[in-house]
Amino acid sequence: MGARIRELPAQLPRSFDKPDEPWYRYVTIDLIFYVLNYSLFHPWTSWVLVLCLRAQLTPYENTEMRIAIGWAILMSAKSIFRIFSDKIAFGAPREVELSDEVIVITGGVEGLGGLLAETYGMRNANIAVLDNKKVTEDEAEEKGVLYYDCDVGDAEQVEAVAKEIAEDLGAPTILINNAGIVRPQSILDSTAEDVEKTFRTNTFSHFNTLRTFLPYMLQERRGTIVTVSSVLGHLGAANLSSYTASKAALLALHHSVKAEIAQLPDGKDIKTILVSPGQMSTKMFEGVQTPSNFFAPLAAPVDVAKEIIKLVEKGEGGEIAVPLYAKWIQILGILPAGVQTLVRRWAGVDTAIAKSGLANKTVVSEKSAF
């Protein structure tokens, strides 16, 4: 008898629980851009078109041949520029071997963090989750994840748990700061306690974990730090003042930490990744409608997790923004004030929470991001 195959729990994505929708609901600008990136905008495909024209004995002086060659050169130049730009911004990738890494995820019981933890658990990685939510021993064993009961907003608890992780698994080398809560309420209805709790979980926790786990990475001379912020950190939104402010702080924190690590002698192989997703299909903002399914579709947690895992395992630093509009949201800030106002009205960013009925309700907590 061979070794018994380990059975792993599986749960279908939430979209499978919903009734089928018309085909055009699945057509989004993200899908179109994805297809174009691997066809018309891809340098290899562009040069294949040139070769096809030559196979038909098309003369070089013909207009269609000149256009094809010009386009191929432009796409090749774009790709080369991007490679050099990323190299300058994020440096050379570090070598990553999962068996030699210790991954720490805050808020890793549910949502995006839970998906990351379970994915790495299935791959037998050394994974530690810091969360207040309880997980049974049987469930933890099935997922192959070690769960530590920890309030990441409490510096002393984080320091104590870090010592346990170092003894149980080894020195932490990958930190995914994902924990987050939201209190959808107007600033007039908020209390000092509400705001403090939001910042403790969403912002102060990052300071706690960075101060605690970064020394381990410097000691190992390698590491990756993932900061999960939100597209709302760039925008702000009515009835989400404490949440958006706490996420905006993470944008500045990420850039500051990246600059400090670059100045440390042992920080050469410590990479930083900033994640700024748009609205994800999790419980956190369930019921909030996007202004356009075509231009601003919901981001599936699996798509965000896939991008994070890809950068982490390639040993690269970078910035992740999903869906497509999240990549260009900063452009809104340089537009004339009147245009910004019109765009916000069209998008409904300041009325979405009120219309969804979430405003001033009980705390909605989910280890995820919007």
**How far from each other are the two terminal CA atoms of the chain, in whole angstroms?**
49
The fold for domain 98-365 equals Rossmann fold (3.40.50)
Question: Are the CB atoms for 105 and 126 separated by under 8 Å?
Answer: no
Looking at per-residue confidence, does 300 or 166 come out higher?
166
Q: Per-residue pLDDT averaged across 12-40, rounded?
A: 76
**What is the per-residue pLDDT across 65-97, written as a single tens digit (0 to 9) for each?**
999 999 999 999 999 999 999 999 999 999 999
* pLDDT tens per residue across span 303-338: 999 999 999 999 999 999 999 999 999 898 899 999
Average pLDDT over residues 153-166: 96
Where residue 26 falls among pLDDT bands split at 50, 70, 90?
confident
Give the number of other Cβ atoms within 10 Å of residue 188's Cβ. 7
CA 220, CA 267: separation in Å to the nearest integer? 10
Question: For position 280, what pLDDT does the model report?
Answer: 84
For the residues 274-295, what does the mean pLDDT come to?
Answer: 82
Map tokens 């990756």 to a residue: 224
Q: Whole-angstrom Cα distance, residue 233 to residue 275?
A: 11
Report field, pTM of the whole predicted structure over 0.75: yes
pLDDT, position 7: 55
Would you list the domain boundaries of the chain?
Answer: 27-90, 98-365
pLDDT attached to residue 1: 43
Distance, C-alpha 256 to centroid of its chain: 18
CA–CA separation, 319 vs 300, rounded Å? 17
d(CA 366, CA 107): 8
- The reported pLDDT for the residue numbered 368 is 42
> The tokens of 228 are what?
């999960």
Q: Say how many C-beta atoms besides its own lie within 10 A of residue 316's C-beta.
A: 19
Q: What is the pLDDT of residues 108-155, one digit of tens each?
A: 998 899 999 999 999 999 999 999 998 888 999 899 999 999 999 999
Encode the chain in three state secondary structure. CCCCCCCCCCCCCHHHHCCCCCHHHHCCHHHHHHHHHCCCCCHHHHHHHHHHHHHCCCCCCCHHHHHHHHHHHHHHHHHHHHHHHHHHHHCCCCCCCHHHCEEEEECCCCHHHHHHHHHHHHCCCEEEEEECCCCCHHHHHHHCCEEEECCCCCHHHHHHHHHHHHHHCCCCCEEEECCCEECCECCCCCCHHHHHHHHHHHHHHHHHHHHHHHHHHHHHCCEEEEEECCCHHHHCCCCEHHHHHHHHHHHHHHHHHHHHHHCCCCCCCEEEEEECCCCECCHHHCCCCCCCCCCCCCECHHHHHHHHHHHHHHCCCEEECCCHHHHCHHHHHHCCHHHHHHHHHHHCCCCHHHHHCCCCCCCEECCCCC
Pairing label, strands 126-131, 102-106:
parallel
pLDDT of residue 209: 98
pLDDT score, position 15: 46
Q: What is the pLDDT of residue 363?
A: 42
